[in-house]
Amino acid sequence: MQLIEKAPAKINLSLDALYQHTDGEFEWQMIMTSIDLADYVQITLQDSPQIEVRTSKGYLPEDKRNLAYQAAQLLRHRFDIKTGAIIEIDKHIPVAAGLGGGSSDAAAVLRGLNQLWHLGLTKAELAHIGLSIDSDVPYCVYSETALVTGKGDQIQPLGDLPNFWMVVVKPEVSVSTPRILHALNCDQITDRPQTDRLLAGIQQQDAQQMTAAMANVLTPITNQRYPQIDYLMQRLTAFGAEKAQMSGSGPTVFGICRQYSRAQRIYNSMSGFCREVYLVQPLKK
């Protein structure tokens, strides 16, 4: 048996860290959405007990370092599955970019094997399992606009966003999320998102109110190490974006436009600064 799961990239419309738990994990408050930039994960069951991962990018790990591999092994061992699977990942999402590509691939494997192995798990149950793989996996199981709280495991879907376009730009640097989080001190955060106002903007389908309330508390930390992030955000706004922001721990930044023609012009202009530039929209339910 075989199926193909779409694994969309995620974008942080807001990212806030409220406090740090005694175990070192953070209490997050984030509004996340998924965009129409995606990997495609083909899963084929096999009689042998092995989990095999193959990717379209030769530099990606295909062993236990790969989150998709970890997801398959986790389900297999937890539910005592005797068969294995071949997982083929057609990569389109940039790697180490703050777009959750590896986590989305892992979530796609959880969803796909849940079907193929007839496990009957709910999204909430898959999300709970996925938290042990990576903190972005629970959200990626849902891959729809949501308020994400707790350690990343509490997902509250919000419905569709108002209509707008995003120009997504990934500079040629890779960011280590653990390194960025190690430098995060919740008591020193000065620019936080206005989460309630952002939620109201989404509910009222008011893109202007929504963008005015957005922020990412990791931006100053990442930008201190990679100043080109701030430069690219300045370029996005100079070219006409209504809001420019970093996603996740970076380095990817994005600009929001309500008009397609303006977004297209910004896309063309930013393509002169970076090789990886994408013109996308948030996914609808």
Instruction: Say if residue 261 carries a ligand binding annotation.
Output: no
**Residue 139 phi, psi (nearest 5):** -60, -45
* Structure tokens given for 110: 């959880």
103 is known to lie in a ligand binding site: yes
Is 136 one of the catalytic residues? yes
The encoded tokens of residue 274 equal: 């970076």
Residue among 10, 91, 170, 243 flagged as catalytic = 10
168 marked ligand binding residue:
no
- HEC-encoded secondary structure of 20-57: ECCCCCEEEEEEEEEEEEEEEEEEEEECCCCEEEEECC
Q: Which of 91, 136, 153, 170 is catalytic?
A: 136
Q: Is 255 marked as a binding-site residue? A: no
Does the annotation place 96 within a ligand binding site?
Answer: yes
Amino acid (one-letter) located at 215 = A
To the question of whether residue 58 is assigned a binding role by annotation, the answer is no
Torsion on CA atoms 99, 103, 104, 108, rounded to nearest 10:
170
Distance between CA 211 and CA 276 in Å, rounded?
24
Is 97 annotated as a binding-site member? yes
Rg (CA), the chain: 19
CA–CA distance, 278 with 173 (Å, rounded to integer): 17
For helices 67-78 and 101-116, angle between their N-to-C axes, nearest 10 degrees: 30
Residue 99 annotated as binding site:
yes
277 is in an annotated binding site: no
187 among known catalytic residues: no
List residues with catalytic annotation. 10, 136
Residues making up the annotated binding site for ATP are 94-104
Residues making up the annotated binding site are 94-104
